[in-house]
Amino acid sequence: MRSQNKTDHDKRYMLAALELAKRGLGNAWPNPSVGCILVKNFTKKNKSEIIGRGWTQPGGRPHAEIVALKQANYKTLNTIAFVTLEPCCHIGKTSPCIKEIIRSGISKVVVACRDPDPRVSGRGLLQLKNAGIEVVYGVCKKEAEKLNEGFFKKIKIGRPMVTVKVATTIDGCIATRSGDSKWITGDLSRQQGHLLRAKHDAVLVGVGTVIKDDPSLTCRLPGMKKFSPIRIVIDTTLRTPLSSQLVRTSRSYPTWIFTNKIETSSRVKIFRKNGVHVISLANQKTKNKVPLKTVMKKLAQEGITRVLVEGGSKVITSFMREQLVDHLVLFRSTKIIGSNGLTVAGNLKIERLLNAISFNRTSIRESGEDVVESYER
Strand order in the sheet with 360-367: 277-280, 255-259, 230-234, 202-206, 306-311, 161-168, 327-332, 370-376, 360-367
Is residue 234 within 8 Å of 258, Cβ to Cβ? Answer: yes
Active site annotation includes 369? no
Rounded CA separation 229/240 (Å): 19
Is residue 287 within 8 Å of 260, Cβ to Cβ? Answer: yes
Determine which one of 65, 86, 149, 373 is catalytic: 65
229 cis-preceded (ω within 30 degrees of 0): no
DSSP assignment string, 125-158: HHHHHHTT-EEEE-TTHHHHHHHTHHHHHHHHTS
Pick from 82, 152, 96: which is nearest to 124 by CA? 96
Residues with Cβ within 8 Å of 103's Cβ and at least 6 positions away in sequence, in order, are none
Rounded CA separation 10/56 (Å): 21
Rounded CA separation 227/190 (Å): 16
Beta-carbon neighbour count of residue 239 at 10 Å?
A: 13
Rounded CA separation 287/260 (Å): 7
Rounded CA separation 291/15 (Å): 39
DSSP code of residue 86: P
Beta-carbon neighbour count of residue 364 at 10 Å?
A: 12
Which residues are identified as catalytic?
A: 65
